[in-house]
Structure 1
Amino acid sequence: MPQILRLTCFKIPEAAHIQEALRKYETLTQDAVKDGKPYIQSAGASQTYDDPRNGGHTLVARTTFASKEDMDFYDNECEAHQSLKAVLKGKVAGPPLILYMDA
């Protein structure tokens, strides 16, 4: 089964809120646990360059999962993901763009 690479593109207008999101992504691989063990293979985020081609997206997160099932767990059950969503609630302009593919 191939690994899943997920890219999540956010439109976060405030620079301070972008920094909050970056800090959450720095610890995501340790914070996210499934059956008592970390399950996200890698995670990180970067601020985008100010460029009209980015469509207003200011932050891109990269997350790698061992399987689609692990990504589904992240979306539906992961407490660390819920915590990340809580930090960003009300700070993101519109829903994020989420792309995923075989790594």
Structure 2
Amino acid sequence: MASQIHRVTLFKIPDHEHQERLLGFYKQMKSKALKVRILIAGTALLRDHDKDGKPYILSVTAGNAKPDQRAQGFTFAAISVFSSVEDMVYYDNECAAHAELKAFAKTVHQGAMMVYFENGAI
């Protein structure tokens, strides 16, 4: 069985109201992010890859960063855990809930960083 994928995303968002609004998106993410069937534009084909309408994010942890000189200006952190890289790719490219989050974040952040990994400490 493949190891879970841990995704760490950091944002530089100076405005506290914007940080709280982003946190609101993350609070809803686990229940709102569903794998659903979609129609590929211009075709009658459905992409079914395990798209059963159920939540696919195993866990989401997010919040405002505590002040620390090592934070390098990042003010908000989120950790999302997925069953597979495929689920994370779906999140990046097809998830409607994540698209809403990204659309908002792009308007308020002054820098972002993302890394993902399999837990090697277990």
TM-score range, shorter chain: over 0.9
Coordinate RMSD, CA, aligned: 0.9
Q: Tell me whether 1:85 sits opposite 2:86 in the alignment.
A: no
Measure the CA separation in 2 of the matches of 1:89 and 1:48: 19
Deviation at 1:16, TM superposition (A): 0.2
Q: What secondary structure is seen at the aligned counterpart in 1 of 2:107?
A: coil
Structure 2 residue runs without a partner (length 5+)? 36-50
Q: Tell me whether 1:100 sits opposite 2:107 in the alignment.
A: no
Instruction: Give the counterpart letter for 1:8 in structure 2.
Output: T
Measure the CA separation in 2 of the matches of 1:44 and 1:68: 18
Q: 1:43 aligns with which of 38, 47, 60?
A: 60
| Alpha-carbon displacement from aligned partner over 1:32-74 (angstroms, at most 9, x marks no partner) | 0012111000012021111221000000001000000000111
Instruction: Give the counterpart letter for 2:88 in structure 1.
Output: M
Instruction: Give the counterpart letter for 2:60 in structure 1.
Output: A
Q: Tell me whether 1:22 sits opposite 2:23 in the alignment.
A: yes
Report the equivalent of 1:66. Answer: 83
Percent identity, aligned pairs only?
Answer: 42
Larger fraction in strand? 1
Report the number of matched residues. Answer: 102
Instruction: State the TM-score, normalized to the length of structure 1.
Output: 0.94
Instruction: State the TM-score, normalized to the length of structure 2.
Output: 0.80
Measure the CA separation in 1 of the matches of 2:12 and 2:113: 9
Runs of 4+ in 1 over 4 A off after TM superposition: none
Instruction: Give the counterpart letter for 1:76 in structure 2.
Output: N
Structure 1 residue runs without a partner (length 5+)? none
